Amino acid sequence: MLSQKLRALTPIHSKGQSWRRIVSPLRSAVPAVVLPLLLLSAAAQTQQPVPVVLEAMTGELHRAFTSLGKSPSAVSPASSPAPPAIPVADATSAASADEPLPPYFLSYTVRDTNYVSIRALYGALAESSAGRTRSADIQVRVGDPKLDNTHGTHRGSAVNSLQLPLGDDRAALARSLWLATNTGYGNALDNYLRVQTEAEVRAKEEDTSPDFSQQAAQNHIGAVAPSIVIDHAAWEQRVRELSRIFRDYPDVYENMVFLTVQNETDYFASSEGSQIVASHLQARIVAVAVTRAVDGMDLFREQTFEAETIDGLPTQAVLASAVRDLGKSLEALRKAPVTEPFDGPAILSGRAAAVFFHEVLGHRLEGQRQRGDEEGQTFTKDVGKPILPDFLSVADDPTVDNFGSTWLSGSYQYDDEGQKAERVDLIQGGVLKTFLMSRLPIASFGASNGHGRAESGHVPTGRQGNLIVTSTKSIPDSELRQQLIDEAKKQGKPYGLYFEDISSGFAVTQRSSPQAFQVIPLVVWRVYVDGRSDELVRGVSIVGTPLAAMKSIIATGDKSEVFNGECGAESGTIPVSAVAPAMLLSTIETQRQPQGTARPPILLIPGDDSQAPATKGAQ
């Protein structure tokens, strides 16, 4: 395989070498004609025509890679029959003496996105728009994989972004890419200089891993995402009607229903010879509702539905019923008693457990968190050790599209560093095996496992895709409930708790800036040991160390639930899924959440009968 030949990326630059000897594997292994060949071979493999965008990317990338940091006489523009002497800036300013610094790695990621967005509030349409954008992320790395311009806090210097023209105009595309590449290269040189200076004055780092892992080139020319087919007027009406349902729940004082459809094609080309075209489709409908209890406690809930395409979304009747449930739930919550401090057994529903694992465990297993990043090394030295009960295993598998009949929004074929998605068994039988790896190596793991993900404009980091928790100690839900009661009795508690719904930093409903790893119980029930019916409580806040809670899991249910959502972190907001069965914990500690002091609205929400004087009135 040609790609195999291109694979090895040896350190190509060190300070002592003269520039003449600094040749990239790409250029030394393959002459300039490699690019057309590559295109052909990649296309032949998959029977898809090579899109013009990818051709333009590959052409410009090759020209940049063979020109940057070379002395003028070595520059050979792709479109030029005879290489002329072109006075351009030299790249020596950032390095010592007159040593040119070619990039050792260059990649272009282009995201071409069609979108539709429809939003309604208070039963009326508030927004309806559609459009298309194309943006490019240019990644330039200078130095060598051991130490490059992205080291330490300079990680952001890898990526430069700009908007690209939409059409198949190669000249306009190439010139935009040239512009961004120049900026990115200048930026990389500047940061590399600073990295070198810092390296000289700093004590030895704890983790001396390289800055970039060596990976095989990937070639896959998949189909381009189709344009969005949608009956705008019909969907506007559907969204409007869903929002209007909240008029039957006058205590819900803010509501919103929105539909987003996004068909995205991602193009990737790199100096290692990768060429990828892959698409990601997603349709999503979200209902959000907010109320406030008389004592000032804010209460909110949301319901989301995801499918690959809009046709896969539930019927209007199903959606309407879910919206009604949301309204009912908030009205019930508003009247529910406030929780008391509690320390005892609890069940997390499958959905709640999925959120809990994503936030509390998943984020801590991201590779870069083991390397001096701000969230810090919780499990760095725990590989091979048990960190969960032995009946639990956790994998992240972006390669599966569905769990049962539910579509998983965290699926992808290639990650945002052009690496093939892999199923990663993070925890097996409770024992930590590995981390979610991007191309940023860490002391214990030197290679990507296809989890380098990012939103446009961000440097990819290790992120979750579809986090799947499995159990070998599963029992039917009814038994799980009985065990909860038994456990509560054993501990001398009058009740155990049932967490039906939990929100988190990656739910759409975060009320302030995204807060890492936070979980907010939304719907919690007391399950009494004496046979009384379950009682809804509000204001529950989980306290204590989350990892201790996870270690106290006794058993799980036998049915898994899916949570589809969006996860925001350093590398931006990306779609993810989490799948888990319900879980029984022997101990979870809760207290009353700090509560807002703002009063509920003074007047009643306007409605058909709102001319009547306010009954809640002044307090």
SS3 526: strand
Which region among 8-16, 212-220, 252-260, 473-481 touches another protein (by CB under 8 A)? 252-260
Which C-beta is closer to another protein: that of 248 or that of 534? Answer: 248
Size of the site for another protein (CB under 8 A): 137
The verdict on 71 binding another protein (CB under 8 A) reads: no
Q: Measured from the CB atom, is 20 or 381 closer to another protein?
A: 381
Distance between CA 590 and CA 501 in Å, rounded? Answer: 15
Handedness of CA 154, 184, 73, 85 (dihedral sign): negative
463 touches 449 (CB < 8 A): no
Among 69, 460, 496, 557, binds another protein (CB under 8 A): 69
Residues numbered 562 to 591 that lie near another protein (CB under 8 A) are 566, 568, 573, 589, 591
Q: Which stretch binds another protein (CB under 8 A): 31-39, 286-294, 321-329, 348-356?
A: 286-294
Name 97's Cβ contacts closer than 8 Å, sequence gap at least 6: none
Contact with another protein (CB under 8 A) among 166, 223, 400, 431: 166
Site for another protein in 322-381 (CB under 8 A): 360, 372-378
Nearest approach in angstroms of CB 260 to another protein is: 6
Restricting to residues 440-459, which ones interact with another protein according to CB under 8 A?
455-458
**Region near another protein per CB under 8 A, out of 46-54, 59-67, 217-225, 433-441:** 59-67
- Residue 375 CB, nearest approach to another protein (Å): 7
Which stretch, 181-189, 394-402, 442-450, 468-476, contacts another protein (CB under 8 A)?
181-189
**Nearest CB to another protein, comparing residues 130 and 332:** 130
User: Which residue's entry shows tokens 């925001």?
Assistant: 568
Residues 6+ positions from 321 with CB-CB distance below 8 Å = none
SS (H, E, C) 285-298: EEEEEEEECCCCCE
CA distance 425 to 434: 7
Query: What is the C-alpha to C-alpha distance for residues 401 and 408, in angstroms, rounded to an integer?
Result: 5
- Considering only residues 78-107, where is the footprint of another protein by CB under 8 A? 78-82, 84-89, 91, 93
* Smallest distance from another protein to CB 86, Å: 5
- Selected binder of another protein within 241, 254, 486, 558 (CB under 8 A): 254
Site residues (CB under 8 A) for another protein, limited to 508-537: 508-519
Q: Which one of 10, 14, 73, 129 is in contact with another protein (CB under 8 A)?
A: 129
Q: Are 265 and 225 in contact (CB under 8 A)?
A: yes
Among the listed residues 398, 514, 401, the one whose alpha carbon sits nearest the alpha carbon of residue 462: 398
237 binds another protein (CB under 8 A): no
Beta-bridge mates of residue 557? 475
Tell me if 538 contacts another protein by CB under 8 A.
Answer: no
**Measuring CA to CA, how many Å separate 175 from each of 126, 316, 531?**
38, 47, 73
Encoding tokens for residue 327?
């309204």
Q: What sign does the dihedral 510-511-513-519 (CA atoms) show?
A: negative
